[in-house]
A and B are shown apart, each in its own frame.
Chain A
Amino acid sequence: MTTNELTRGPVLPAPASGYRSRPAKKRRPGTSRISSLRALVWVLPAVLMLAVFVYLPLAQNFGFSVLEWDIYTGSQSFIGAENYRKMFADPVFWHALANNAWYSVISILFQVCGALVLAALVEGLRHDRWKQIFRVLYFIPSAISLTVAGLLFYFIYEPELGLLNAGLERLGLGDLTQSWLGQENTAIFAIIAMSQWQGFGYCTLLFAVALQRIPSELYEAASIDGVGPVRRFFSVSLPLVREMTGLMMIVTVSGAFQVFNEVMVMTTGGPNNSSQVLGTWLYRSGFVRNDFGYAAAIATAIFFITLSLALLQLWISRKRRVEW
């Protein structure tokens, strides 16, 4: 008999006579209701915080999206679906949506696929010390804020004092030098590149943890069969972290549709709205152009995009639980 079995259940004396099954006969009809109401004390702080500061504003947002509303004069009038009609006819909205989509695609490429391969390379190293050093090094950009990373890359892209143009010139690629954040066709991609630099280490760390959980016997069996490292990756590692990869993709895409910080810091959506994303266009519409109803309509669009991704994520993790 193991100690585990010893401490479990009947051997431990008295729990049954503890307060859990306290004299049921003596209990008056109202007591159980009172005690169960008292039990609510445990969840109420959390639930109330969420209800008032998360769910209530979420619901209000739908109401606001059908108003024409000037926050400074306080004038509000009901205009039905007008804000949504305006949104679907707004070229900047579609451009912002496309930028978010670019963000998702490039992030999946680098922060999911790239990070997975990278994690496999790092975990494949022989020395534990080096594994740890690389994991930590790659993560450091994720520990500094997007604001700091954004400002840093603002300077790196800066045409006069920046590293990038100076580096290109050193390499004899002077033709490629340009004002990376100042041009409509490069601004958003310069921002996305920064975000890959900042975020890939985070995903690599997560994949490294997932890969470590794969039982080492599987790798040993593969190497006995004479399987090389590349095939080992595709036929052992990849299938075993497939669900994790799916989840990471969704989390990444969801994050890509909530981008705000780095765009705000690096270009505020410019030049000429070319690097606008949904979050910054919402902000600009509400707080700069003073059109709160329209901003609320953009928020609704973000809500439905992120909600559908979250439901997809839920569905995948449900499925996984059944499989295991």
Chain B
Amino acid sequence: MVKRSTALGVIGSTFVWAFLLALAVVVIYPLLWMTLNGFKTNAELFGNPFALPVELRWENYANAWNRGVGNYLMVSVLVTVTSTIATVFIGAWAAYGLTRIKIPFSRTFLIVILAGLMLAPTVALIPLVRMFQALGLYNTFWALLILYTAFRIPFTVFLIRAYMMDLPVQIDEAAAVDGASRARAFWQIILPMCKPIIVSTVILNILFTWNEYLFAMVFTSGGDFQTLPVGLTNLMAKHGTDYPVVFAGMVMAALPMVVLFIAGQRYFIRGLADGIGK
């Protein structure tokens, strides 16, 4: 009996391994193809698509950088850093208030904030365009900073609040005994204690902001100030015939997030799991 089950087990696990490996190839090969195409010439690209590049033409990357990708990258970094900081501070500040302080109508405020999780950004798009035109913020950095912050606050509060609720209240009381104000207790005691969930929300927010397309396209496509997702489609439209440069640009846009994910996967997975599993 033991023998039969092992024989079956061996066949089964061989199939499982073959399937998992085949799927890994399906995932990795297109990415590899993209990276290799970034080193080819246009002639090579239109030749055999399975061939390796004849030589590693780093100048494609330099060209992509000079044709705008460098600029888009800076803009993406700027928007990502500022909106992530703004979102996490405003979110953590609100989460502290909601879990630790008696606030009139706190239940209403909580619902108002968390209900934001249910709303699709597309629905607000048309009025937002008019609003930002009226404010004179259309095609500016501020439009993206404000929108990314506002639309990410609900998820951020949701994650940080759940974490703060598990921290004992005695910590705050002890801080109060020592004469710390509420704000000081927040900055110096509670916020540092929330570090794991803060790191998770930071990573999730960076991934969101770096890759966001709808708002970026509608609110900045007319100006010089563009993030990578919009910039890449422009690169494609403007230099559409020089495909290797487009591939190089795509690799430069994708690489930072792949590295970030692999480096921070522990925090990242925790954030995702808390976000949906709790």
Measured CB to CB, the residues of A under 8 A from B are 7-8, 12-15, 18-20, 36-37, 39-43, 45-47, 49-58, 60-61, 64, 71, 118, 121-122, 124-125, 134, 136-141, 143-148, 151-153, 155-156, 160-163, 166, 170, 197, 201-202, 205-206, 209-210, 213, 228-229, 244, 247-248, 251, 254, 257-258, 260-261, 264-265, 278-279, 282-283, 286-287, 292, 295-296, 299-300, 302-303, 306-307, 310-311, 313-314
Contacts and interface: CB of A to CB of B under 8 A. Distances in A.
Nearest to A140: B258
B163 interface: no
Contacts of A53: 124, 128, 131, 146-147, 150-151
B16 interface: yes
A134 B20 CA distance: 8
Contacts of B246: 151
B176 A19 contact: yes
12 contacts: A15-B170, A15-B173, A15-B174, A42-B101, A46-B93, A138-B24, A143-B261, A146-B229, A147-B233, A228-B5, A299-B124, A313-B118
B124 A58 contact: yes
A206 B273 CA distance: 6
Interface in B139-184: 146-147, 149-151, 153-154, 157, 168, 170, 173-174, 176-177
A261 B117 CA distance: 20
Contacts of A144: 31, 211, 253-254, 257-258
B260 A209 contact: no
B230 to A, nearest CB: 8
B123 A302 contact: yes
Interface in B92-113: 93-94, 96-98, 101-104, 106, 109, 112-113
Nearest to B254: A144
Contacts of B37: 155
A137 B24 contact: yes
Contacts of A145: 210-211, 213, 228-229, 253-254, 257
A248 B103 contact: no
Given A137-B27, A145-B228, A20 B173 contact: yes
Contacts of B123: 58, 61, 299-300, 302-303, 306
Given A46-B91, A137-B24, A166-B49, 12 more contacts: A46-B157, A54-B151, A121-B16, A147-B253, A205-B269, A209-B269, A228-B5, A258-B122, A282-B126, A292-B126, A302-B122, A307-B118
Interface in B215-272: 217-218, 228-230, 232-233, 236, 243, 246-247, 250, 253-254, 257-258, 260-262, 265, 269, 272
B189 interface: no
A57 B98 contact: no
Interface string B188-213: 00000000000000000001001101
Contact of B177 (A14, A146, A160): A14
Q: B-side binding surface: helix, strand, loop or mixed?
A: helix
B122 A46 contact: no
A143 B213 contact: no
A143 B28 contact: no
Contact of A61 (B34, B49, B96, B126): B126
B54 interface: no
A141 B31 contact: yes
Contacts of A7: 168, 170
Query: Which of B20, B93, B113 gathers the greatest number of chain A CB atoms within 10 Å?
Result: B20
A213 B277 contact: yes
Contacts of B273: 206, 209-210
Contacts of B7: none
Given A209-B277, A260-B214, A295 B126 contact: yes
A95 B199 CA distance: 42
A57 B131 contact: yes
A303 B233 CA distance: 28
Contacts of A201: 27
A205 B31 CA distance: 19
Nearest to A279: B122
A49 B153 CA distance: 9
Contacts of A125: 16, 20
A143 B214 contact: no
A261 B230 CA distance: 10
A143 B104 contact: no
A60 B276 CA distance: 30
B90 interface: yes
Given A43-B106, A143-B260, A152 B34 contact: yes
B19 A61 contact: no
A279 B126 CA distance: 12
A64 B217 contact: no
A292 B126 CA distance: 7
A12 B178 CA distance: 13
Nearest to A133: B24
A57 B233 contact: no
B177 A45 contact: no
A288 B211 CA distance: 24
A196 to B, nearest CB: 11
A206 B211 contact: no
| Closest A-B pairs by Cβ, 4 of them | A42-B97, A145-B211, A310-B118, A57-B127
